[in-house]
Amino acid sequence: MTDELALAFNGVNGATGQYLLGRLHATDLSSIAQGEQLNDRHRRELRLWWERVSVDHLGPMEGIDPDDLADAGWGVIFPSESDPRIKHALRPLLDLRRGQAGARDPRRFRVLEGPNGVRPGESKTSFLARHGVGFGPADPERMSYYLLLVGSPVDIPYRFQYELDVTYAVGRLYFENLESYTNYAQSVVDAETQLPPRRMQATFIGVRNPTDRATHLSADYLVTPLEAALATQRTDWTFDLKIADQATKAEVSGVLGGTETPALLFTASHGVGFPAMHPRQLADQGALLCQDWPGPEGWKGPISPAFYFGADDVSDTADLRGLIAIFFACYAAGTPQFDDFAHHALRRPTAIAPHAFVGRLPQRLLSHPAGGALAVLGHVDRAWGYSFLWPGAGAQLTTFQSMVLRLLGGHRVGFATEYLGQRYAELSTALNAELEDVKWGKHADDLQLAGMWTANNDARGYVVIGDPAVHLMPQPSD
């Protein structure tokens, strides 16, 4: 594989039709990586966590069953200043989790709000220390393993979520109105207390736009082999693969609320991005660019909404009950206020949005009034396709394969995504060790550093939007 082939990045600027990030060489990324500075405390925690899971197990402390909420615990964390009506709107979900997590010990169900919630500017370490929790595996007697953050990424920053997720199974909820919180809470309760609405079907969609290297790579090296491997391992499930011409906006509409909606959906595509203050940014950032886009050579100028699937394309009659969706696309879960890539490349913060926000598409999918999805797993900031191809960065396909196998096995989404956390800890530990060696005189292998750095950013950026304790509960296939 050539350097040029490897350095293909995801994301298309909806305002210009050009790539969000131009073509770079490994030497460029190597220089950026050598300026990387991780918080020493966070770096130490990542190293300790990786050492633990590499020789032990993923998840909470030994002896805790991550599928049993009464054992693992469940908690909800609000900002210290939060509208009390949001908690009231989530009452059905809180009551359900109180009955499950507090079944044997009421202390394993936690509501952290007001003075016990996240304070403005508070770090993850300070928050946990204030609650008597230090480093080490998740101990449900001190802090529940499953933690649901309820608030915007302005009130509870994405960085807080990334770092908390190293040890705990973390998800986030944020909606723009109270009714959406009520809709989501009721959807989860209905999914866990009524007959399953979905069959045991998993659908994989790989967009492959003409003359577009990034989507060719994700379709050929991620989606297609991932679906094939899983279909061999889980013969009790029905699998459907849609590649290239089968990955149109109409097809995506059919699997996101239409008649072909599966229990599990995995897509890989470009995510559409817009400049800060662009009138379409808040509404369409992270929308899935479908096969309808003719590619960079076939289309010049702003990206037409006819080419992508966003929140406004989810039908009012859509049936999303029981769905867990995984989107490999830039900004599919949300957008930070500052561009992390530019921060390292230019050594200064660069605003890419007026404020950090949760993507409108996952908000719409989870809060649908006719019954919402259970969870959306996606990227905050850019998705980096390089990481699943560069061999020195680790087996990205294996990471996705292991995670999806856990989901298909009925494990909770926060526990299934521990594989992404493991990969982040592994890559961060290896990257920082390599940077230390370079600092003290080792010759920098540009391709190796470029791969480590991009893969590290990719692994860190995945977040769960929704309750991390939800899990697939489909009907057996015919």
Residue 116's pLDDT band (boundaries 50, 70, 90)?
A: very high
* Number of C-beta neighbours around residue 446 at 10 A: 18
> What does the pLDDT average to over 230-235?
96
> What does the pLDDT average to over 45-52?
46
> What does the pLDDT average to over 33-59?
48
pLDDT at position 134: 82
Of all residues in the chain, the percent with pLDDT exceeding 90 is 64
For the stretch 324-343, pLDDT in tens is: 999 999 999 999 998 765 54
Model-level pTM greater than 0.75?
A: yes
Residue 175's pLDDT band (boundaries 50, 70, 90)?
A: very high
Query: Is the pLDDT reported for residue 151 higher than 90?
Result: yes
Q: Please tell me which residue, 470 or 456, carries the higher pLDDT value.
A: 470
pLDDT at position 409: 96
Query: Is the pLDDT reported for residue 447 higher than 90?
Result: no
Q: Which two tokens stand for residue 61?
A: 């402390």
Q: What is the average pLDDT value for the chain, to the nearest integer? A: 85
> What does the pLDDT average to over 348-374?
92
| Alpha carbons 283 and 288: distance in angstroms, whole number | 13
For the stretch 179-225, pLDDT in tens is: 999 999 999 999 999 978 889 999 999 999 999 988 998 999 899 99
| Alpha carbons 60 and 82: distance in angstroms, whole number | 29
Query: Is the pLDDT reported for residue 53 higher than 70?
Result: no
> What does the pLDDT average to over 405-425?
89
For the stretch 308-320, pLDDT in tens is: 999 999 999 999 9
pLDDT at position 43: 47
| Alpha carbons 233 and 201: distance in angstroms, whole number | 14
For the stretch 267-301, pLDDT in tens is: 999 999 999 999 999 999 999 999 999 999 999 99
How many CA atoms within 13 Å lie on the side-chain side of 224?
13
pLDDT at position 354: 93
82 to 6, 149, 150, 425: CA distances (angstroms): 45, 12, 9, 32
Taking each helix axis from N to C terminus, what angle separates 396-408 and 224-233, rounded to the nearest 10 degrees?
A: 40
